[in-house]
Structure 1
Amino acid sequence: MSSDVFPGPLGPMPEAGAAAILWMPPQADASGPVRFVDGFEPFTDFLRSHGIDPAPLADDLAATWNVVAARPEILDRADLAAAAARFVGNVIAVVHPAATWRMTNEPEIGTNTISIPVAGLVQGMVQQPDQRDEFLRMLRSWEQDDRDDEEMRALSAEDAPAAVVPARAYVRPALPTPLFFDDRGEVIRYGRRWPDGTAPEESYSRESHPERFAPLLLVVDALVDHLSREYEVEARREAGEGGTERIVLAPARGARVIITPTVPSVRVEAGALFHAIVPSCVCDACDETAETAADELERILLSVAAGGFREKYPVGRRAWLYTEIRSPDGERRESSSGPAPDHSAEDHERAAALLSGLDDGWWPAWPLRSTVRT
């Protein structure tokens, strides 16, 4: 089906859950992405009944916004509001040709970086017309978002170097498991508090018994002992900020690591710009335990030592920091963000110069000790 309004064939709205984002791998029995959907005709009929030619609006989102905002009666009819939403989504597809349709809780138009619920957008056009310029500014940055995302995805598709692991595996020390009680005197089953996966709203602002993470300090000591014994790395303890102690692990080759062990969280810094707080959140909703936090801490430190740590900076025009942690068993986690705001421009320049000397951002594995310490 073709249209005299939009520059391309029309298709039906994808079914709920159907992939319409272009980067998704195509299925043999699936239709291709839909750029322009049908069903907007009641809205174009409405426009013509008011003496408005819809064709000039097809590539002018600002004008479309003004037309919709000036006619709040569009929201009084469900069929007309739905048709207007499809029209507006098609206009976005003209403005941003990479955008395609998908159905989640409601119809959306977008790419992998931005997906816009069109029914909510039409409602916003009527109820918050002053948001037009801010929305248009967001759309102007969309193309760069897509390019940056494409570059990030290319990075994530690359292979990692082989892990360098010692013959003697790390063994977590036995952690104490004290009992903690709520206000009613009942045992709190941390890690299993929300069996249906839904935490109550008030739990997000509550941090009960942060001392349950004290066993992480035993894990830190065990990791430092293991890494010092198996790899050529100097471990030294220094005074940190606010009277805290920090542990510096300086390998003969590879990324330096700084650990600041406190309760309830342990801070880890590695390489040029990487930093992590373990656990990242101690609120009751997250329901972390010392064991789950130990999993994360061990994953980071053992991966860095084994050569599974990657930093790329700057990435894309927006100068993102791309970080990859790949465990010796192949598990990988990636993140991308701007560099830490508390770093100066000089820090960023030094980091970029340092990382430019690495092999595609991969920090080398720490050298194994030829003679293992006892």
Structure 2
Amino acid sequence: MSSAVFPGPLGPMPEAGAAAVLWMPPQADAPGPVRFVDGFEPFAEFARGHEVDPALLAVDLGATWDFVAGHPEVLESETLAAGAARFVGNVIAVVHPAATWRMTSEPEIGTNTLSIPVAGLVQGMVQQPDQRDAFLQMLAPWEQDDIDDEEMRALSAEDSAPAFVVVPARAYVRPALPILTFHDDRGEGIPYGHRWPDGIAPEESYSRESHLERFAPLSLVVDALIEHLRREYEVEVRRERGEGGTERVVLEPARGAQITITLGVPSVRIDAGAHFHAIVPSCICDACDETAETAADELERIVLSVAAGGFREKYPVGRRAWLYTEIRSPDGERRESSSGPAPEMPDEARERAAALLRGLDDGWWPAWPLRSLPA
């Protein structure tokens, strides 16, 4: 079905989950992405009734915003509000031709980098008309965001692997962590790590952080990791005092990426290579339900992977000069990547880091050399 309003064929609204993740390989019998959906005609007729040509609104998102904002009665009719949401989404697809429709909890229009719930957008146009310019500015870098995302996905998908992975003959062994018991306000034990058996955490748990002392055993894990690395690899270990009196351990290998571990409460910070940093646990809210054991899993995976040679940094990537990092476990079973702007630093330091990374083998830091004699 074609339309005299939008420059392309019309399709039905996708079913829930359809085309929601655009990077997944399409199924043979799956419907193609929908750029323009039908069902906007009630709003188009409403515009005509106010002597406004919907075809002119269709090519001007700012004018569409002004028209909707000036007619709050759009929200008084369910049919008209739904038509307005579909019309506005189609206008966004004109602004950004790569955008397609998907259905989540409500209809959305977007790409991998940005997806816009259209019913909420129409409500915002009516209730917060002063946000017009801010919304248009938010859309301005969308095309470049998509280009950057495509470049990063290509890096994640490419068949690149470290030249050598070095694993000591004596494996790392996690120390026995104390069994800690915590109670809620009613005196009942809190089963951290198993609080939400159905996988659904209550809304209020996302803003609650209880018994952060449960992460105190991470200091034992840090000590064990440092001793293992000192014993097995050619690495210099320095203990320093960081900001606020926090303890910082610098591990400088004879070759490979330096690691700095900063102990804090409740989190441990890991810095490695030129730009990489991670906070473990990454979230301490009750909803995430992390424990010292799950945080130790992440801490050990990162540190041991860097030492073994499973650490990759590429910078600068793309026109925005973003940072791409990859951590691959020594056994090759786990591979995780991330991308985004590089940390802020002086231009001279940034260029030194870029030159250093350019000298690596496709971004892979070499494995730390093993000690020839036991430490």
Shift of 1:264: 2.6
Corresponding position of 1:348:
350
Q: Distance in 2 between matches of 1:105 and 1:243?
A: 47
Q: Does 1:223 align with 2:222?
A: no
Does the C-alpha gap of structure 1 residues 246 and 34 become closer, same or farther in structure 2, counting only changes over 3 Å?
Answer: same
SS at match of 1:62: helix
Is 2:41 aligned against 1:41? yes
Aligned counterparts of 1:237 and 1:108: Cα–Cα separation in 2:
51
Match of 2:342 in 1: 339
Structure 2 vs 1, CA of residues 26 and 197 (structure 1 numbering), >3 Å: closer, same or farther?
closer
Residue of structure 2 equivalent to 1:172 = 174
What secondary structure sits across from 1:297 in the alignment?
helix
Given that residues 20 and 34 in structure 1 are in contact (C-alpha distance below 8 angstroms), is that contact kept between their aligned partners in structure 2? no
Report the CA distance between 1:339 and its aligned residue.
Answer: 2.8
1:142 aligns with 2:145: no
Give distance in 1, aligned partners of 2:242 and 2:111: 45
Q: Residue 21 of structure 1 contacts residue 101 of structure 1 at CA under 8 Å; is this kept in 2?
A: no
| Structure 1, gaps ≥5 residues long | none
1:7-35 alpha-carbon deviations (Å, 9 max, x no partner): 11111111111115543321101111111
Equivalents in 1 of 2:120, 2:265: separation in Å? Answer: 44
What residue number does 2:161 align with? Answer: 160
Gaps of 5+ in 2: none
| Residues 20 and 104, structure 2, Cα contact 8 Å, conserved in 1 | no
Selected match of 2:325 from 323, 326, 331: 323
The alignment yields a C-alpha RMSD, in angstroms, of: 2.1
Measured after TM superposition, the shift of residue 346 of structure 1 is 3.5
**2:28 matched residue in structure 1:** 28
**Counterparts in 2 of 1:209 and 1:140: CA distance versus 1, 3 Å:** closer
Q: Which residue number corresponds to residue 360 of structure 1?
A: 362
Please give the residue correspondences for 1:1-374 in structure 2 after superposition, counting only pairs within 5 Å: 1-19=1-19, 22-158=22-158, 159-161=160-162, 162-329=164-331, 330-341=333-344, 343-371=345-373, 373=374
- Does the C-alpha gap of structure 1 residues 143 and 197 become closer, same or farther in structure 2, counting only changes over 3 Å? same
Q: How far apart are residue 202 of structure 1 and its match?
A: 4.8
Contact kept? 1:233, 1:252, Cα under 8 Å: yes
Q: What is the CA deviation profile of residues 105-145 of structure 1, one whole-angstrom value per residue up to 9, with x for unaligned ones?
A: 11111101011111111122222222111111111111011
Q: CA deviation at 1:92?
A: 1.1
Aligned identity (percent) is 79
Which secondary structure does the structure 2 equivalent of 1:366 belong to?
coil
3-state DSSP of counterpart to 1:28:
coil
Q: How many residues align?
A: 372
String of CA shifts for 1:159-181, please: whole Å, max 9, x gaps.
Answer: 32253222322111111213233
Distance 1:183 1:54, change over 3 A: closer
Give me the whole-angstrom Cα distance separating, in 2, the residues matched to 1:272 and 1:144: 25
SS in 2 for 1:59: coil
SS at match of 2:325: strand
- The offset of 1:219, in angstroms, is 1.3
How many angstroms does 1:185 deviate by? 3.2
Distance change (3 Å), C-alpha of 1:138 and 1:241 = closer
SS at match of 2:313: strand
What's the TM-score once normalised by structure 1's chain length? 0.92
Q: Is the Cα–Cα contact under 8 Å of residues 248 and 256 in structure 1 kept in the other structure?
A: yes
Segment drifting more, 2-11 vs 198-207: 198-207
Compared with structure 1, are the counterparts of its residues 219 and 54 closer, same or farther at alpha carbon in structure 2 (3 Å cutoff)?
same
- Which shows bigger deviation, 45-54 or 297-306? 45-54
CA distance in 2, matches of 1:72, 1:181: 51
Tell me by how many angstroms 1:212 deviates.
2.5
**C-alpha displacement of 1:203:** 4.1
Residues 182 and 4 of structure 1: CA distance in aligned 2, closer, same or farther (over 3 Å) = closer
Q: Residues 20 and 33 of structure 1 are in contact (CA less than 8 Å); yes or no, is this contact kept in structure 2?
A: no
Task: Return closer, same or farther for 1:273/1:34 CA change in 2, 3 Å cut-off.
Answer: same
Residues 204 and 102 (structure 1), Cα distance of their counterparts in 2 relative to 1, 3 Å cut: closer
TM-superposed deviation, 1:154: 1.0
Residue 234 of structure 1: SS of its match in structure 2? strand
Q: Secondary structure at the residue paired with 1:324? A: strand
